[in-house]
Structure 1
């Protein structure tokens, strides 16, 4: 099990925060899943897909002494904290993207990574079939909190209060986990639920599809302009659709598959609950057209 790729246990979507004495609740960190393997003086890191990424994070060497057992496998979230104390997803993705040694060494100081550990899969034996609360006790006993590695905080029973606290701190939301849950790699568990705050963003409209009707939406990034970031259909009324099709006709540049491609001249506001590592927005809801918004002002929030 040590130093071999393990696909971590996944979470399902929860709709609303809730209180339940049979659950613990953790902050939803805005980072990337990383599994850390340690044996003696050797430490390695693997991505969710099993990619070896140790070389990208030299600060991992400082985590060896923080793990107080000879061998361990930790399930973590890799994050980069900004000065306001909130994690920044794009900052971590920068660390994951760079490969030149000089840039990596500089980034250790400009974009320092913290690995937030929330589960313990192995020490001198596997712990996958132990209840979560037992794994949490073991995790607390074997990991010291340092700038590079720290166990995540969690509360019991009080999910609603933690959800509101995370909202106040501009965090993504919470993860609710049943205390008795076992760890099953490469599965999406209904006993682990991520519950996120709804986020709003202004997007440009890059095209549309008629059957079913949906808008193709885009954003401007520092290095990429007019990047498609998803579609939105929910919340669009028949009146919205009729108005849009009439006003969009002169802007159509051609057809690609079942998509009418458009000049980026129109904007709208959407809500979304999730996004992928490549900034694709998921679980979107249309909120309204923005007639006075300039498309170039529809940018990703860094």
Structure 2
């Protein structure tokens, strides 16, 4: 089976209401689709990059699924020390380049696969069937497992969002139970309501303190391929070791000319780099009247996303 590009929710400020809606926690993890048939089990992310070697705990398919063949859709999550899902932690697994480190990181960062959909089962594609039917099938084929859970739902979206906000979690996803699943689709059949904003941005510069990177200058591209500075981040989930490693990556990549078309507020002490490294950035709001920049941006993790995919929100 060739990997597919999964269906995505659209962002909304309001929670849709009605008996045809299902409300789930938006897990702060990485999207993974599991493909199993008589040729074995393969894992792919939303960009159709192979992640089979990264999550060996999911390869014994028969231990958590009764189907002879299936395509499952879900989110791989990892927990931080406070017991909440952490994108930074799961990226420690997902961004492994030296695969000989997988066993070591498996012990350090255990993961759970939160399965929320089934697209193919026992030789038949079922993505065009209503979500309610797909969930019934999922309930029948997924079995309890140490590393696999079927994502639960709550009947009251407002109440679920209130709990998520209280816990400082990412948000909720609202799904129309009557809806089909569209490969490489994105529309209002699935809606995400977020407790805070996050984007993917590219690093175009940095500043130093004591010879170590202490902040990065972030940008996104417009429709003409021009890189616009949107803010700098010196806080987030990165450890001191992460900042030192970042310094080793960025210092050799310094270039003379500024990659941004606009001049950052912090430009006098900045070093410019070719825009290659991308990061997931959390923020409180866009400051539309202040150069269209981010308020309180913080780095969550560096991600395997092409720089050209980091587009300004009004371009997408």
SS in structure 2 of the partner of residue 105 of structure 1? helix
CA shift in 2, pair 1:77/1:298, >3 Å: closer
Describe how 1:149-228 pairs up with structure 2 within 5 A.
149-156=148-155, 158-198=156-196, 216-220=230-234, 221=238, 222=243, 223-224=245-246
* More divergent stretch after superposition (8-17 vs 56-65): 56-65
Conserved? CA contact 2:197–2:285, under 8 Å: no
The 1:196/1:207 distance shift into structure 2, 3 A limit, reads: closer
Q: What does the per-residue CA deviation read over 1:141-183, in whole Å, with 9 as the maximum and x for residues that have no partner?
A: 1101322111100123x11011112223332110001110101
- Consecutive unaligned residues in structure 1, runs of 5 or more: 209-213, 228-252, 266-276, 290-296
Whether the aligned pair in 1 keeps the contact of 2:282 and 2:299 (CA below 8 Å) is: no
SS at match of 1:279: strand
Q: In the TM superposition, what are the counterparts of 1:278-293 in structure 2 within 5 Å?
A: 278-280=279-281, 284-286=285-287
1:11 to 1, 9, 12: 9
Q: What is the CA-CA distance between 1:205 and the residue it aligns to? A: 9.2
Native 8 Å contact 1:206 1:263 kept in 2 = no
CA distance in 1, matches of 2:154, 2:259: 50
2:102 is matched with which residue: 92, 96, 104? 104
Whole-Å separation in 2 of the counterparts to 1:278 and 1:119: 27
Shift of 1:199: 5.9
CA distance in 1, matches of 2:216, 2:57: 42
Measured against aligned partners, the alpha-carbon deviations of 1:188-232 in whole angstroms (never above 9, x if no partner) come to 1211001000369xx979599xxxxx963112352336x9xxxxx
- CA distance in structure 2 between the aligned counterparts of 1:146 and 1:205, rounded to whole angstroms: 41
Q: 1:263 aligns with which of 245, 252, 268?
A: 268
Secondary structure of 1:112 counterpart: coil
Q: Per-residue deviation at 1:123?
A: 0.7
Give the corresponding residue for 2:208: none
Pairing 1:1-302 to 2, within 5 Å after superposition:
3-39=1-37, 42-124=40-122, 125-156=124-155, 158-198=156-196, 216-220=230-234, 221=238, 222=243, 223-224=245-246, 258-261=261-264, 262-263=267-268, 278-280=279-281, 284-286=285-287, 300=299
**Which residue number in structure 1 is paired with residue 203 of structure 2?**
none
Contact 2:174–2:192 under 8 Å retained in 1: yes
Q: What count of residue pairs does the alignment treat as equivalent?
A: 250
TM-score, normalised relative to structure 1: 0.72
Distance in 1 of aligned mates of 2:157 and 2:298: 33
Report the TM-score, using the length of structure 2 for normalisation.
0.69
SS where residue 174 of structure 1 aligns? strand
Unpaired runs of at least 5, structure 2: 199-213, 220-227, 250-255, 271-277, 291-295, 302-316
What secondary structure does 1:163 align onto?
helix
- Output the CA distance in 1 between the equivalents of 2:263 and 2:257: 6
Query: Is this contact kept in 1: 2:6–2:46, CA < 8 A?
Result: yes
Kept in 2, the 8 Å contact 1:120–1:136? The answer is: yes
Q: Assess if the C-alpha contact under 8 Å between 1:63 and 1:149 holds in 2.
A: no
Q: What SS class does the counterpart of residue 278 from structure 1 fall into?
A: strand
Shift in Å, 1:63: 4.2
Point out 4+ residue stretches in structure 1 off by more than 4 angstroms.
203-208, 253-257, 280-283
Q: CA deviation at 1:10?
A: 1.1
